[in-house]
Every structure is written in C-alpha cells, then in structure tokens.
Structure 1
Amino acid sequence: MINRLPNKVPIVLIILLALFTFWVDKSVRQPTTEQDRYPRRNPDYVIENFSAISVNHSSGAHQKLSAKKMVHYVHNETTYLEQPRLITTKAGTPDMRVRADRANLIGNKDIYLNGNVKVLRHDKGKEKMTMVTSFLHIIPDDNIVKTDKPITILQANTIINAVGMELDNDAQIIHLLSEVKFVHDKIH
C-alpha cells in the first residue's frame, strides 16, 4: 500500500492544479456586483448648457443643437437631452426651429422629441407656421419631420388639427395622416 502512494501523488496534484485553475478562471471572469456586470450602463459623459453647430458645405445646410443637459451612453449610442432646441437652415428651404421638454438621439441619425414639442417654420416672405404636438421624430439628414400623435398647425388665420403628420422640408410638402380638421377665418 505504501508503494502505491508515490504513484498517485502526481495524479492528485494534477487534479488539484486543474481545480485551482478552474476556480481562478471562474473568479476572474465572473462579475462580483451588478455594476460590474454592466460596466457601460453609466453615462460616458454629461454636458450642461451646451450648443453644437453642424455645417454641410456641399448642401449649404446648417444645424444648431443646444440643450440644458445632455447625457450620452456609449453602450447603445443613445443621447438624452433636456430642453433641446434645434435650428436648421438650408438655402432654398424654410428655416425651422424646434423645441421640446426632452429628446433622445439614437446613433446620431434620428432625433425623438417628447413633451411640449413646438416647431416654428419660417419661409422668408411668407407667413410663419407653428406646429404643436407631444411627440416628433426628426430625420435631420433627410430634412423630414413626422409624428403619429395629434398635432395642431397654426398659420396666419388658419388652424389645422390632425392625428399624424409628415413634413418634407426640402420638398415643402406636409402630409396629414388622419382626423384632419381645418378652420380658416376670413380677414374682414
């Protein structure tokens, strides 16, 4: 029995080494806290009272975005804005000013505005148009604004109420999607 013990020592040491290696690997890989499991859930930056300007020299488009606060999350490329203001100008199209209580930017492509959304569209030499809604989806690269929520459009002595709207600012076309009500007061 004593002669067999030295033959089994290397096997026991190899098994212990394998178990120790497995334990070290598992303890290194497993997060220990909830925050460690999701390290990118915290914002990578927060900016207060900022303004950013974007200029496209080929199309002549200018965009100015400002907000009271901006919080960016790198894990899903989402940016949250408090009290955002967006101004877009482009030669040959009406200037557009947009404001809201909140906004989400997803991947620097689409802007989703929520709460007290107001759009002021001004074409030089024409009447100003104001649009009010609770939600607005802006696609800045295509100069398109749309919503599936109730919207009120005011221009001079005209009031239009509808549910759903799509505005192509380049083509200067507005599509009202449903429940359209139109009131036009004559000027005396």
Structure 2
Amino acid sequence: MTLSTREAMIAVVLAAAGLAAWWYRGGRQPEVAPAVPQHGRPDYVVEQVAAVTMSDGGEPLRRLRAPQLRHYPEGGGSELDAPVLRLLEPGQPDWVVRSEQAWVSADGDEVLLEGRVLGERAAAADQPPMRIMTSQLLVLDDAGYAETDRFVELERGDDWLTAVDGMQLWFDAPMRSRFFGRVRQRLAFAEPAAAPDAPSVPGP
C-alpha cells in the first residue's frame, strides 16, 4: 500500500505524542489493560521514521527516531522498532528515552514500551544525572500515568532505588510515585563540613 505524506506524518505524530506523554502530564490510575494488537499483517510500513513535534510558538518539543513503524488496520495501533525519543526543554538537559519496541494505540492515548526501557537525563548545574530502567512500561496519554509490574531501578546521582514488583508514576505537580514488592534504597549523604577551630581566648 502506498502511504501519502499526510498519512505518514499523522502516524508518526501519534506515536511521538504517546511516547512523550508520560514525561509531561499527570492523572489517574488505569482501569483496564491495553489491548495490544495481534501480530497480523500491517496495512502500511514507514521506514526510517524521523519526526519533530513543535510547540504553538514554533519551538521543537521532542524528536522521535525509529528504524521502522508498522501500522495495523481496524484500530490495531502501531508498532515501532527501537524508538529513541528526545524531549527538549530550553535551558535544561534533554531526556532521552529508548526501548527495544513500542506499541501505540490507534488514538495515541496508550503506549506500551517493551524490552530494555531506559530513560536518561544528563546533569545540570542544579541537579544530578538521572536514569530510569525497566523491561516494560505502560503509559496512558490522557491520564499522564505510567506503570510497570516488572523490576525497576531509578538512579539520581549517587542515590538509587529498586523495586521488585514495579511502580506507579503520576507526573502532575507535585509528582508522586508508588513502589511495590521488595524495595531497596540508598541515599548518599554528603560528609558534614568540619567545625571551624574555636578562636583562642587570651588568658587572664
């Protein structure tokens, strides 16, 4: 099937919007599991996906790259191979999110990242580098909610946290999270500064 430029851009923008949502928005816990499509025959395929999502003021918000996008008919959604999503914020380090595969629902409201899921943000002047690692992550676009029932690890500078049975994340301010199963955490505290020597007092 021949894919028009307009159709290709709609598919790519939906995929990019879904993948980016969990970094930006907050909301409610999902009520149903995502309806991941059966692996049938896609109605079109886009090779070497590269897309930029712009703000209303014309500034780039995020960039998406993937070797291949496959769209499935009858509401089956789209699959992406090895997507790399870069989230841009002026004056702040980029978030770079990678996974081995991703599935995006037809309306772009549900995203399932699978395989090795890795989100990284470089250090800035006022914040340490940060990494989030797991093997599967479900994101609900309209709710700004993300969850996994898989092992998850978070690193923030020298601090780290692991949870055996996954986590829930809500991204509205104030951002909040819940961790399940056996949770381990290490907080690295800076060494307290030595007290200054007491001034000498002359004797009588």
1:149 match: secondary structure: coil
Amino acid aligned to 1:118: L
Give the 3 Å change call, closer, same or farther, for CA 105–148 of structure 1 in structure 2: same
Say if 1:167 and 1:174, in contact at 8 Å, map to a contact too. yes
Alpha-carbon distance, 1:102 to partner: 0.7
**Greater strand proportion:** 1
Count, aligned residues: 147
Give the 3 Å change call, closer, same or farther, for CA 115–152 of structure 1 in structure 2: same
Q: Which moved more, 1:117-126 or 1:41-50?
A: 117-126
Say if 1:136 and 1:145, in contact at 8 Å, map to a contact too. yes
Deviations 1:109-158 (A, max 9, x none): 22110011001145743112101100012345555433222100111111
1:75 match: secondary structure: coil
Say if 2:52 and 2:60, in contact at 8 Å, map to a contact too. no
**Equivalent position of 1:49 in the other structure:** 48
Task: Return 5+ residue gaps in structure 2 as ranges.
Answer: 1-39, 192-204
**Equivalent position of 1:184 in the other structure:** 187
Say if 1:95 and 1:123, in contact at 8 Å, map to a contact too. no
**Equivalent position of 2:146 in the other structure:** 145
CA RMSD of aligned residues (A): 2.9
Task: Give the distance between the partners of 1:145 and 1:92, measured in 2 at CA.
Answer: 26
Task: Return 5+ residue gaps in structure 1 as ranges.
Answer: 1-40
TM norm structure 1? 0.65
Give the 3 Å change call, closer, same or farther, for CA 90–121 of structure 1 in structure 2: same
Give the 3 Å change call, closer, same or farther, for CA 89–140 of structure 1 in structure 2: farther
TM norm structure 2? 0.60
Q: How does 1:1-188 map to 2 (within 5 A)?
A: 42-57=41-56, 62-90=61-89, 95-107=94-106, 108-121=108-121, 124=124, 125-140=126-141, 143-162=144-163, 163-171=165-173, 173-178=175-180, 179-186=182-189
Give % identity: 25
Task: Give the distance between the partners of 2:79 and 2:60, measured in 1 at CA.
Answer: 24
Give the 3 Å change call, closer, same or farther, for CA 144–52 of structure 1 in structure 2: farther
